[in-house]
Amino acid sequence: MNILILCNKSPYPPKEGGPIAMNTIIEGLINAGHKVKVLAINSNKYGVAVKDIPVDYRRKTQIETVYINLAIKPVAAFLNLFTGKSYHVERFISKAFEEKLIEILQNNRFDIVQLETLYISPYIGTIRKYSNARIILRSHNIEYLIWKRVAEITQNPLKSWYLHHLSRTLKNYELGALNWYDGIATITKKDGDYFLNHGCQIPVIDIPFGINLENFKENPGVATEFPSLFHIGAMNWMPNQEGIKWFVEKVWPMVNHEFPNLKCYLAGRKMPDWLTNLKTDNLIVVGEVDDAFEFIYSKAIEIVPLFSGSGIRIKIIEAMAAERAVISTSIGAEGINIENGKNILVADTPVEFFECIKKCVRDEIFCRELGQNARQLVLRDHSNQQLILKLEKFYHQIISR
């Protein structure tokens, strides 16, 4: 098949959740023998110079990018309040992107055009006009739900009101768009069921995040610091920042008092000033790491304190593949077929989170068994090769309708 994949950000370098998920699908399809073309949005939020992308990757993906300034513009944001339109979506509408898309569609015949995230949906009309390809939405999250949850835990009343407004308009757009596509591939079954229960009348399939298991060796030769805690994730994503703030303020004082020599490492791009300037014993802000795999293998226990967000946490899947013990909130672990106490520990209050950490720190054998069981879950549910086969069958189903 000839497949065009439209991305809301560059899939390369795959250093945070969205790009990792997109790149895994792209490389999986290419390895399965399909021809793939990538058109991605480049932005002030996630900028990539095409010349810095490896030549081999550029060759096999034919990747092109178009710059869109996604910075929030106060005047436009204010005026948007009176339109009923989703400001989140409106920011992704670009004449330059549309023109590049038309050029590609006029010069190529595609079987499938896959939209990575809801935010590419404004271009459906253009695709229909210039191509007979089937359009698939790859839904990474229920997007409005992320902002609804953020609004619910925001303490500033004015900010909470505005976030609720953004969530409502995004919900109207997201649910209103469900039948614009020819098919939807969600990242969790829960998300797929939600769409089907809210008026979706087109085929829906769940394709979880896939792991290339060869990247996660059972014996990687990296020394693991036990005990140690770690978190890895982009900190310009609001749910990550809020979760770490909760952990630092509510959980870490108890942990640090009980285990004064235990270290917690915080890795990821775009660390906020309040975190980098924090002076707290044994809380080490690493920032962006060169090799995420090596970082994960070098630490023992991953913490994922999330109270908003949707979809699936890729860093949990990666840590599980690396046989790390994971402690998460219920929302953080959504979309994964977990068994609390067997392949993950789930905690939603500061005391519960502290008790889970204490259990892992004091029992290395339990910690190791938790990680081994987690890897078995990944082997069963998240093999990228098997998930690509499932996606191929879905493509054929949609094309044959």
- Taking only the tens place, the pLDDT of each residue in 246-257 is 999 999 999 999
Residue 14 and residue 122 in one domain: yes
Provide the percentage of residues in the chain whose pLDDT is more than 90: 73
**Residue 319 above 80 pLDDT?**
yes
pLDDT grade, residue 309 (50/70/90)? low
With CA atoms as reference, report the closest residue to 353 among 266, 250, 283, 267.
250
Q: Tell me, what's the pLDDT at 268?
A: 92
Quickly list DSSP for 293-311. HHHHHH-SEEEE--SS--S
- Identify the pLDDT of residue 217: 72
Higher per-residue confidence, 188 vs 204 = 204
Spatial contact of 231 and 195, defined as CB atoms under 8 Å apart = no
Pair (292, 329) in one structural domain: yes
- What is the CATH number for 116? 3.40.50.2000
Q: Using CA of residue 313, residue 316, residue 320, residue 322, what is the dihedral sign? A: positive
C-alpha distance from residue 265 to each of 105, 268, 282, 305 (Å): 46, 10, 8, 14
Same domain flag for 68 and 96: yes
Structure tokens at 84: 């009923």
Residue 218's pLDDT band (cuts 50, 70, 90): low
Q: Do 98 and 230 belong to one domain? A: no
User: Which band of pLDDT confidence, cut at 50, 70 and 90, is reported for residue 311?
Assistant: low
Within its chain, how far is the Cα of 2 from the centroid? 25
Q: Report how many domains make up the chain.
A: 2
- This prediction's pTM: 0.82
Using alpha carbons only, how large is the chain's radius of gyration in Å?
Answer: 21
Q: Are residues 253 and 205 part of one domain?
A: no
Does 168 lie in the same domain as 42? yes
270, 349: one domain: yes
> Would you place residue 121 in the very low, low, confident or very high pLDDT band (cuts 50, 70, 90)?
very high
Of 34-38, 128-132, 149-153, 167-171, which range is least confident? 149-153
What's the average model confidence in pLDDT over 314-332? 94
307 with 270, same domain: the answer is yes
C-alpha 120/C-alpha 105 separation (Å) is: 15
Task: Verify that 173 and 252 share a domain, yes or no.
Answer: no
d(CA 215, CA 92): 33
Provide the domain limits for residue 330: 214-381
Q: What is the pLDDT of residue 219?
A: 66
Q: Are the C-beta atoms of 264 and 242 separated by less than 8 Å?
A: no
The tens digit of pLDDT for each residue in 279-307 reads 888 999 999 998 888 999 999 999 999 98
Looking at the chain, the whole-number percentage of residues with pLDDT higher than 70 is: 99
Per-residue confidence (pLDDT) for residue 114, from 0 to 100? 98
Mean pLDDT score across all residues of the chain: 93
Reported as a pLDDT band with limits 50, 70 and 90, residue 310 is low
Q: Which two tokens stand for residue 274?
A: 């309040």
- Cross-strand bridge partners of residue 185: 138, 205
Angle at 64 between CA 212 and CA 313, to 5 degrees: 35
* Cα 182 to the center of its chain, rounded Å: 23
| Closest to 241 measured CA to CA, from 322, 185, 305, 323 | 305
More confident residue, 147 or 29: 29
Does the pLDDT of residue 401 top 90, yes or no?
A: no
Q: Check whether residue 255 and residue 366 sit in a common domain.
A: yes
Q: Are residues 228 and 203 in the same domain?
A: no
Based on the fold, state whether residues 222 and 136 are members of the same structural domain: no
